[in-house]
Amino acid sequence: MNANVIHVQKWPYTTIPNEEALRSILAAEELEPELWTAEPGDVYHAQTLDYGRVIYVLQGSITFGFPIEAEPTTLHAGDRLDLPAGVPHNAAVGFDGVTCLEAHREQ
């Protein structure tokens, strides 16, 4: 996978992954995730970070927008977003809130 490209990977299975399974996937990539939650309807305005992010959704949904780079995408349980450093992005949390695992990737 190209580290300079936004990559969305939808969860390919019918069963929803648990936190332990997703932590194992990230650990295999030598990433140390943090758990975070957001309330229904929370909005995060556009920002650009100097590090990459890997985000897995555990519960709920969140829509990420990429004002310059790409079309918005909504992530649900098990879906993953690999976001390179320097990419402007915003987010809006779905009606059920969201719980995610997020790891930072230096680039």
pLDDT over 80 (residue 74): yes
Query: Is the pTM here over 0.95, yes or no?
Result: no
Query: How far are the Cα atoms of 7, 9, 18, 31, 104 from residue 28, in angstroms, in the given order?
Result: 18, 17, 16, 7, 14
Domains present along the chain, CATH in parentheses: 7-105 (2.60.120.10)
Kindly report, residue by residue over 9-24, the tens digit of the pLDDT.
999 999 999 999 999 9
